[in-house]
């Protein structure tokens, strides 16, 4: 950025720092350079995080920018969480520090409030008016995250009423293909209520090919485009999984009942039928509307036991003869996918457990994938790829899922962190899917695998939705989209509608339809908000969980370097915390240009380095755990 530039007027987004100051972030579409200008606390007082403002930015001789003369252009935030402050008979709201740096006068309306009450309030015409007060004992952390990220908490009455009316339409056969006589199963976690995918397999014929049928709940049949139900689902764009609470995209009256592929019930589906030859290649795909009946609801553990040692559970008896063919189909797809490379989308993660009586966090346990998770992932990826190609070859614009190849600098970052972690990546200047697969195989099962994967994913960058077709680098897929979860993702529902439109005779599609791109951008924004909310909720519960472990020591690994310190992740627990740079012996320290190392005069700390840390303090509201190094 040219620091000699004269003051100029810009429009950007406000970010609030918990210490009371803020930043104005400006980025022009398509431009890699981002301007970040400091906002002083007094100038930030009338603003909220996410506000779009115009301002004058001025550069200092040190290359730092300052924003002044801020004027509100657009405020998308409508609700805030806060705690009541009473002062001389007047009520104020101490708002979430991530959202506002000051207290705002609170209009409680007719609701009686007192100091320290937790409330959610509505912003209107520059005023903060109470919406509802949390009950005593309610999880304040949860409500704070929901309001902070603008998530939809409850469904409007007219949406619930429409969901109930949708259940009055029977699951009739009509012109659909009848798959009820084919052994069909669902495989999910026991706690899953919104079951949207089922699988069937037809044994190999004389040519050795098997046919895999992936049947997905036909959500578009019940959720009509433009209806109140659809508009609410579109606004949400995704279900949000906050530890201890799920905010579904669709009301439970539909998502957990009428649309869910529960056993022994007839259900409308969209089915993609894949022909898989003996070499694992998908040589053809047929797509059609169907009527299915799930023969059995299986869970990952019992299917994993069958795949690993042939154990047949009682729930599996009705589909016993089909199970070896599922194993064969999964093995063939695994061989084909391994030949092209890419990264295994491991779901190893930490999950909080809660006391059923009090709702308090009772534990934090790591969950690892089973062989059944791998089988279902291969089936769903194959289905998503096949649908993407099916729509592309027919000229139907759709919501593709694209993941760009990382640039050379990101590849260098991965090389560096791998080396510091005790692994040789040797990627060279350009990362290929096969080279990525080889590294993925190296770290599989390593003690610090969770930390290594978190760094690797950040280095590879995010995927995104767009109408413009392109490859998915992480999966080594030439084309990819989301088709298999329309109950919880609006992108999948949009894909379903385009498939159904084509099957029903529509042909007047627009190449790279701008409306589809607008929808894609909206879904990207909502998906990012959902992801940030899930991360914030996890961090707040981490802080709550670690508050009882202050003073304890743990082995950890450095996963990020920040200007103000090191982020370390505890081995096997997925808990992250900050080691402040000013607390490191032998300072002062500064991060290198790529923030891969924290460099001191006598010592350097690098991403991937194993360390031992002690828990020093926690802050649940900010979702922060502070560590110190144990030398």
Q: Nearest CA to 271 among 200, 220, 203, 366?
A: 200
Instruction: Please give the model's pTM, rounded to 2 decimal places.
Output: 0.92
In this model, does residue 3 exceed pLDDT 50?
A: no
Strand partners, 624: 619
Of the listed ranges 260-269, 288-297, 568-577, the one predicted with least confidence: 568-577
Q: Which residue has the higher pLDDT, 595 or 95?
A: 95
Mean pLDDT computed over 306-329: 96
User: Mind listing the pLDDT tens digit for each residue in 46-102?
Assistant: 999 999 999 999 987 667 899 999 999 999 999 999 999 999 889 999 999 999 999
In this model, does residue 296 exceed pLDDT 90?
A: yes
Of the listed ranges 46-55, 170-179, 217-226, 595-604, the one predicted with least confidence: 595-604
Mean pLDDT computed over 337-359: 76
- CA-only gyration radius of the chain, Å: 26
Mean pLDDT computed over 112-133: 93
In this model, does residue 30 exceed pLDDT 60?
A: no
Average pLDDT, the chain: 91
Mean pLDDT computed over 113-122: 96
Query: How high is the pLDDT of residue 595?
Result: 77
Burial level of 501, CB count in 10 A (0-12/13-18/19+)? Answer: middle
CATH architecture of 8-74: Beta Barrel (2.40)
Mean pLDDT computed over 138-156: 94
Same fold, 8-74 and 79-138: yes
The length of the chain in residues reads 631
Mean pLDDT computed over 4-18: 86
Angle (CA) 484 489 494, round 5°? 80
How far is it, in rounded angstroms, from Cα 40 to Cα 47? 12
Domain boundaries, the chain: 8-74, 79-138, 157-401+475-536, 405-460, 549-630
Query: How high is the pLDDT of residue 29?
Result: 59
Query: How high is the pLDDT of residue 5?
Result: 62
Burial level of 161, CB count in 10 A (0-12/13-18/19+)? Answer: middle
Half-sphere CA count of 60, side-chain side, radius 13 A: 8
User: Mind listing the pLDDT tens digit for each residue in 218-244?
Assistant: 999 999 999 999 999 999 999 999 988
Q: What proportion of the chain, given as a percentage, has pLDDT over 90?
A: 71
pLDDT band at 588 (very low <50, low <70, confident <90, very high): confident
Query: How high is the pLDDT of residue 1?
Result: 44
Query: How high is the pLDDT of residue 418?
Result: 78
CATH architecture of 79-138: Beta Barrel (2.40)
Q: Which CATH number does 549-630 carry? A: 2.40.50.140
How far is it, in rounded angstroms, from Cα 546 to Cα 18? 21
Q: How crowded is residue 119: how many other Cβ atoms within 10 Å of its Cβ?
A: 23
User: Mind listing the pLDDT tens digit for each residue in 426-462?
Assistant: 888 788 999 989 988 888 877 767 777 777 888 888 9
Phi-psi category of residue 97: left, alpha or beta, with phi > 0 → left and psi -120 to 50 → alpha: alpha
Backbone angles phi, psi at 627, to 5 degrees: -110, 160
């Amino acid at each position: 950025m040219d620091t000699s530039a004269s003051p100029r007027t810009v429009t950007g987004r406000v970010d609030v720092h918990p210490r009371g100051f803020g930043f104005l972030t400006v980025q022009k579409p398509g431009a890699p350079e981002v301007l970040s200008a400091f906002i002083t606390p007094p100038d930030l007082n009338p603003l909220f995080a996410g506000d779009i403002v115009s301002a004058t930015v001025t550069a200092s001789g040190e290359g730092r920018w300052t924003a002044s003369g801020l004027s509100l252009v657009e405020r998308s935030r409508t609700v805030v969480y806060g705690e009541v402050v009473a002062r001389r008979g007047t009520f104020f709201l101490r708002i979430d520090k991530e959202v506002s740096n000051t207290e705002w006068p609170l209009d409680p309306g007719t609701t009686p409030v007192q100091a320290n009450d937790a409330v959610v309030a509505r912003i209107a015409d520059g005023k903060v008016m109470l919406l509802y007060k949390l009950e005593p004992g309610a999880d304040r952390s949860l409500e704070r995250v929901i309001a902070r990220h603008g998530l939809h908490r409850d469904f409007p009455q007219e949406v619930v009423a429409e969901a109930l009316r949708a259940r009055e339409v029977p699951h009739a056969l009509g012109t659909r293909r009848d798959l009820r006589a084919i052994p069909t199963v669902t495989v999910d976690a026991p706690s899953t209520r919104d079951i949207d995918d089922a699988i069937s397999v037809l044994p190999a014929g004389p040519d050795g090919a098997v046919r895999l049928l992936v049947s997905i709940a036909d959500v578009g049949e019940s959720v009509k485009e433009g209806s109140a139900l659809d508009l609410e689902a579109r606004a949400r764009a995704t279900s949000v999984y906050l530890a201890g609470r799920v905010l579904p995209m669709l009301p439970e009256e539909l998502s957990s009942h009428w649309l869910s592929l529960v056993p022994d019930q007839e259900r409308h589906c969209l089915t993609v039928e894949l022909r898989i030859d003996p070499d694992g290649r998908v040589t053809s795909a047929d797509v059609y509307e169907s009527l299915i009946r799930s023969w059995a609801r299986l869970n990952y553990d019992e299917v994993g036991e069958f795949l690993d040692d042939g154990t047949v559970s009682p729930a599996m008896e009705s589909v016993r003869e089909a199970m070896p063919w599922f194993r064969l189909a999964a093995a063939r797809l695994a061989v084909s996918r391994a030949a092209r490379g890419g990264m295994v989308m491991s779901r190893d993660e930490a999950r909080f457990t809660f006391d059923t009586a009090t709702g308090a966090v009772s534990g934090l346990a790591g969950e690892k994938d089973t062989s059944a998770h791998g089988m279902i992932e291969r089936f769903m990826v194959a289905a998503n790829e096949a649908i993407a190609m099916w729509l592309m070859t027919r000229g139907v614009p759709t919501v593709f899922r694209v993941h760009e190849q990382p640039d050379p600098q990101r590849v260098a970052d991965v090389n560096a962190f791998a080396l510091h972690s005790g692994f040789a990546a040797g990627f060279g200047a350009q990362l290929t899917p096969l080279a990525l697969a080889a590294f993925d195989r190296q770290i599989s099962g390593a003690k610090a695998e969770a930390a290594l994967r978190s760094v690797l994913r950040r280095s590879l960058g995010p995927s995104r939705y767009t109408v413009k077709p392109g490859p998915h680098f992480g999966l080594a897929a030439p084309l990819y989209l989301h088709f298999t979860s329309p109950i919880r993702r609006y992108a999948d529902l949009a894909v379903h509608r385009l498939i159904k439109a084509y099957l029903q005779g529509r042909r007047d599609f627009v190449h790279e339809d701008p409306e589809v791109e607008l929808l894609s951008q909206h879904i990207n924004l909502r998906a990012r908000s959902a992801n940030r909310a899930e991360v914030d909720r996890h961090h707040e519960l981490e802080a709550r969980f670690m508050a009882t472990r202050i003073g304890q020591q743990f082995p950890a690994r450095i996963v990020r370097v920040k200007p103000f310190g090191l982020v370390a992740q505890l081995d096997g627990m997925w808990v992250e915390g900050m080691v402040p740079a000013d607390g490191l012996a032998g300072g002062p320290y500064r991060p290198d240009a790529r923030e891969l190392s924290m460099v001191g005069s006598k010592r350097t700390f690098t991403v991937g380095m194993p360390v031992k840390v002690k828990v020093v303090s926690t802050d649940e509201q900010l979702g922060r755990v502070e560590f110190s190094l144990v030398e």
